[in-house]
Structure 1
Amino acid sequence: MKKLLPLFLIALFSVFVVSCTTDDDNYTQDTDTISSVYDIKNVNFTYDNNGYNIFRQFQVPLYSSDVVLIYRQSATANGNPVWELLPKTYYLSDGNEVDYTFDFTVNDITIYAGGTFDLTGSEFIRNQTFRVVVIPANFGRSANGINYENYDDVINYYNINDKVIKAL
């Protein structure tokens, strides 16, 4: 009997080892943790009943929990763009103001321009460049202390590859 017990345990153990597999036939792609970066380059605002705006649709709808950040290129320094987070108000030397705001849904974004003067034909609504950053909400829950005003801080914090930028 003492000789049969070890053989029985080895046989039992081998059944479990052989029946285990590392193949996962139920593969699902985790699409909600992919950040996206889009550019809207050198565009002019159009005027409609809502004022001056730029409207763009996402090719693939976002998740309802995703967060959208939009940055406006306000200048260039040493050949690199200077990004400013929207919403943004610019106070001009003549006392006037220019405002950029936006809204978004899972399907689209709209960027608005307004001011305390008629923007028709002004540099504030012509040849504008914006960068749209989509951050999955599961990242956003632990984002205490990040400076969203600084585009580079956001890209680094969320480990976003902004070398692959899609046109929007």
Structure 2
Amino acid sequence: MKKIALLFSAMVGLASLQSCEFNDEIVQQDIFLAEVFEVTTTFTPGNNYASTFNFSKPSYEGDTVLMYILWEQSNGADVWRLVPQTVYLTGTDQISYNYDYTRNDFRVFLQGNFNLSQLTNEEYQNYAVNQTFRAVVVPGKLLQGKGVSTVDYSDYNATINALGLQNATIKKLK
């Protein structure tokens, strides 16, 4: 009787093992990869007033990308503004900096409520040439109750501090 019980237990054990699948890919769920990427671009009619940049590696599903534009330098400090950002020109003319992203890349672009080829030379030089942006990858896990939901994301420095990136290397993309 003991042999039958042992044989039955062995068969149940083998059957349960066969229903298991082993995944060779190791996924580390608790690693938070917050990163900062910096790009400088010139918006032209030739690039349709947009530039696309590839991340060095794909971001994780659920991650968010925040985009900041270098707005000015004040007292030796960089002033970053959260995108989208609108500039009001003469009359009713306005242009906006905006962005979109996927897991593999992000695109920054300039939009206007008029044909951007009508920018004056001064406006073009001030708002389209050599514009610097920082893309901050915020891990999705951090947004799910890890205490950074109270951060003022419009403040670049508060965002960097909340993500622990004060001394991190900023990756420059071309």
TM-score (norm 2): 0.71
Shift of the alpha carbon at 1:39? 0.8
Partner of 1:34: 33
Partner of 2:69: 72
Give the root-mean-square deviation of aligned CA atoms: 2.3
Asked whether 1:98 is paired with 2:103, we answer: no
Shift of the alpha carbon at 1:124? 1.4
Q: For residues 169 and 114 of structure 2, what CA distance do their matches in structure 1 show? A: 38
Structure 2 SS opposite 1:155: helix
| Residues 1:61 and 1:110: Cα distance change in structure 2 (over 3 Å) | same
Shift of the alpha carbon at 1:64? 1.7
Q: Which letter does structure 2 place at the counterpart of 1:64?
A: E
Q: For residues 172 and 76 of structure 2, what CA distance do their matches in structure 1 show? A: 20
Partner of 1:113: 110
**Structure showing the higher strand proportion among its residues:** 1
Shift of the alpha carbon at 1:31? 7.8
Shift of the alpha carbon at 1:29? 5.9
Asked whether 1:159 is paired with 2:164, we answer: yes
Shift of the alpha carbon at 1:92? 2.6
Gaps of 5+ in 2: 1-25
Q: Which letter does structure 2 place at the counterpart of 1:47?
A: P
Partner of 1:21: none
Shift of the alpha carbon at 1:144? 2.9
Partner of 1:82: 79
Partner of 2:142: 139
Structure 1 residue aligned with 2:42, among 41, 44, 52?
44
Partner of 1:150: 155
- Indicate if the aligned counterparts of 1:46 and 1:54 stay in contact, CA closer than 8 A: no
Shift of the alpha carbon at 1:54? 1.1
| Residues 1:52 and 1:28: Cα distance change in structure 2 (over 3 Å) | closer
Q: For residues 45 and 30 of structure 2, what CA distance do their matches in structure 1 show? A: 36
Partner of 2:16: none
Shift of the alpha carbon at 1:138? 0.7
Shift of the alpha carbon at 1:94? 3.5
**Structure showing the higher helix proportion among its residues:** 2
TM-score (norm 1): 0.74
Structure number, greater radius of gyration: 1
Q: Which letter does structure 1 place at the counterpart of 2:33?
A: I
